[in-house]
Structure 1
């Protein structure tokens, strides 16, 4: 771990960068760009922390909070972002995402893609929203938890292919499991009677976008105090194609998908199933018990508008960001 920067409060907003060096091809170039851009905006030189295999970001974020950081930049893949989130929940320190992995579920929901300039500009313009988070038995997430096909897809996706072609690599991973047998699951929402289904995947979401920015749950809002559940029930390839087409075309009704909503979601399968949190695999299990923690995380967003889509105005911010970074480099 490395800690460099101005933390004595001598000028500007204090921030920290928690970076996964394995996800960055030019670490020195990243440091120069971030430092030049933030100091040109009147911020203090940021603190720097590198993640390790033993600590993928939570400990470094806790150190940044203790050092007085007002904003923590998570620079890495989904695992880095998730680790930072688990240290920031319940604090007044804001999370900003500088995506450098290939999945980046939270970045996709912010409309950031892998653009460094946009991520920096979002933080500089100080658009903030307080978001709900999901709580899976003490592990927090911002986007979604899943059981079944989505976790199988992640496990089957080749890391080398992801680095070469980006998020379409997940399509290749998904194709390997389209014909797998379904799960038998019982889903209980709050105090309602349980729902039983033969499902291929169950997703418990706080926001609605998947890898590649595909919006699965159009009514999911990040700060409504509720979790949205998608139960996918395709039985064959034709069903998958119908479901995928309806999602891509943003149809109001998606075939082979049941949607539910509540504050607490309890899912029980008959056998151990693969599971994931925010695009990162976790231990397989028979249950997925999630509750919402309302307005528990400050997040830097393109604009603090009350819209279910966190990527609102992302394109305009990207243009301003590119201009600002170029100006900072010239100076």
Structure 2
């Protein structure tokens, strides 16, 4: 018999909708024990998952599984960057952006079957002001919504859309100076999104053409907006047509610098990070191993 692989499950007990599903019991029931020897650990605080993931990688663990939402996936993936250990995902959040992009099933049992039968590939990752991201980062309105969404007890796409419609009337666009592909651009900015993957989550596509293995960011710029345009953009995001919308412009690059006169909010994978007047966003090509169908 070949040597069994070591797999560690990192579970965020507070992720996603409340559920009575016993994740540990399902893992025990459906994981291929001929292929894997497994352990389960639980996060105890914000920032704990990267430590648990890095510890597993340094001990020679072949696969580390993030059990949670986009925030948990981001934390676990940060601990595995540039290592030989592969990230796997059991989606348990409200958005599940990276899981959806990688075409992972959202059901627990089906996701465990991917662990048993899937294969390992390597993807690009991004970095904004020193913070890794794996799906999207951004400055402007989407970061503002991330800050509001973080304090909301309700999750999911409906809550997100309701917040957008409520807040879009009062949010103002700001002037920015962006250096991209050797050119400098002075522009208004309502949203500037930096996409490694195609979507934010919940099948809301900010960059439908994004390739997670091409070494390039898909930069989406929305300059000025009103409620009517916001409704149209929301529709385009949900129908994968944003690239054809008049209000959105796209650029491909491996690095972009942005300067602002006023501090702007920013996020990474939907997690609000704070405010800054300067942003450096870059790609790290093929820097994370992932387990996919």
TM-score above 0.5: yes
Does the CA-based 8 Å contact 2:104-2:292 persist in structure 1?
A: no
Distance (whole Å) between structure 1 residues aligned to residue 232 and residue 21 of structure 2: 46
In the TM superposition, 1:233-248 aligns within 5 A as 233-248=223-238
Distance (whole Å) between structure 2 residues aligned to residue 104 and residue 167 of structure 1: 11
Superposition deviation, residue 277 in structure 1:
0.2
Q: CA RMSD in A?
A: 2.2
Unpaired runs of 5+ residues, structure 1, are 1-8, 303-331
Matched, 1:181 2:172: yes
Q: Flag as ranges the 4+ runs of structure 1 deviating above 4 A.
A: 24-28
Which residue of structure 2 lines up, in the alignment, with residue 262 of structure 1?
253
Distance (whole Å) between structure 2 residues aligned to residue 244 and residue 136 of structure 1: 25
- 2:94 counterpart (102, 105, 123): 102
- 1:161 counterpart (137, 142, 154): 154
Residues 277-316 of structure 1, C-alpha deviations (whole Å, 9 max, x = no match): 01111121122211111100111122xxxxxxxxxxxxxx
- 1:126 counterpart (108, 113, 118): 118
Does the CA-based 8 Å contact 2:157-2:202 persist in structure 1?
A: yes
Distance 1:27 1:137, change over 3 A: farther
- 2:63 counterpart (53, 67, 71): 71
Superposition deviation, residue 54 in structure 1:
5.0
Which residue of structure 2 lines up, in the alignment, with residue 205 of structure 1?
195
Which residue of structure 2 lines up, in the alignment, with residue 311 of structure 1?
none
* Structure 1 residue matching 2:154: 3-state secondary structure: helix
Superposition deviation, residue 80 in structure 1:
1.3
Does the CA-based 8 Å contact 1:148-1:201 persist in structure 2?
A: yes
Does the CA-based 8 Å contact 2:94-2:202 persist in structure 1?
A: no
Matched, 1:84 2:76: yes
Does the CA-based 8 Å contact 2:69-2:93 persist in structure 1?
A: yes
* Structure 1 residue matching 2:111: 3-state secondary structure: helix
Distance (whole Å) between structure 1 residues aligned to residue 267 and residue 158 of structure 2: 19
* Structure 2 residue matching 1:292: 3-state secondary structure: strand
Superposition deviation, residue 113 in structure 1:
6.3
Residues 142-191 of structure 1, C-alpha deviations (whole Å, 9 max, x = no match): 111111111111222253211xxx2221111212221211021112114x
Which residue of structure 1 lines up, in the alignment, with residue 289 of structure 2?
298
Superposition deviation, residue 27 in structure 1:
8.3
Superposition deviation, residue 121 in structure 1:
2.0
* Structure 1 residue matching 2:36: 3-state secondary structure: coil
Which residue of structure 2 lines up, in the alignment, with residue 276 of structure 1?
267
Distance (whole Å) between structure 2 residues aligned to residue 295 and residue 87 of structure 1: 15
Distance (whole Å) between structure 1 residues aligned to residue 280 and residue 97 of structure 2: 21
Unpaired runs of 5+ residues, structure 2, are none
Distance 1:246 1:48, change over 3 A: closer
Which residue of structure 2 lines up, in the alignment, with residue 6 of structure 1?
none
Aligned length: 289
Superposition deviation, residue 141 in structure 1:
1.2
Does the CA-based 8 Å contact 1:77-1:101 persist in structure 2?
A: yes
